[in-house]
Structure formats: C-alpha cells, structure tokens
C-alpha cells in the first residue's frame, strides 16, 4: 500500500457556477447531479471528520462562490457561518475528528 504524505485537506461541496461546462451539463441532466442541502452536507462532513486521521489539518469544510455566479445550490450563508454550523454540529453529536479513525 502506498501512503502519500498528506497533512492537510480541504473540502468543497458541489456548486454549479454560471457559464461553465458543468452548468451546461446540469441544465441538460440535473438528475445526474447530487446537490446536498446544508444539513445533508454537514451530516456528511461529520461522518467524514469522525473517520479522518486526527493528524490531518482540515483547512476548509466548504466552498463559497459569489452568489452572482452561482446556479445552485445556494445556502444563503457565507463560509464563516457554515463553519460555525459545522462546529455546532460536531458539538451537538458529541464527536470530533478521528473519533472513529481505525
């Protein structure tokens, strides 16, 4: 097994940006795209974080596109607000990075 020297990681949810090839594909076949609500995404991030090596540094838990360029989904929050909701979710579930790391 090969291990890459990873020490940091960034996460970004799927966002459809105007005037891109992905926007064209999304407009033709929206059923091919899995767009998460904020609650779904936060729960996914909690599950990932619990299993993530605790030595890794999480540099970002979500992306942020200027609302004028975003086709979908829009959560109506800036990154700092999403980060706070993620931290609140970890606390609510009494969990942390690496809790379920083997």
Task: With 0.75 as the threshold, say if the pTM is over it.
Answer: yes
Cα Rg of the chain (Å, integer):
16
pLDDT score of 53: 93
Mean pLDDT by groups of 10 residues along the chain of 102 residues: 86 94 96 94 98 96 89 87 97 98 89
pLDDT score of 73: 80
pLDDT score of 5: 84
Residue-wise burial string across 41-60, b where 16 or more C-beta atoms lie within 10 A, e elsewhere = bbeebbeebbebeeeeeeee
- 3-state class of 6 per DSSP? coil
pLDDT score of 16: 93
């Amino acid at each position: 097994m090969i291990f890459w020297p990873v020490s940091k990681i960034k996460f970004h949810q799927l966002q459809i940006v105007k005037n891109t090839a992905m926007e064209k594909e999304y407009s033709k076949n929206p059923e091919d795209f899995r767009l998460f609500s904020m609650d779904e995404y936060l729960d996914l991030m909690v599950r990932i974080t619990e299993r993530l090596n605790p030595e890794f540094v999480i540099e970002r838990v979500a992306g942020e596109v200027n609302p004028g360029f975003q086709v979908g989904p829009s959560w109506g929050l800036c990154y700092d607000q999403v980060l706070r909701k993620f931290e609140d979710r970890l606390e609510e579930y009494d969990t942390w990075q690496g809790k379920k790391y083997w």
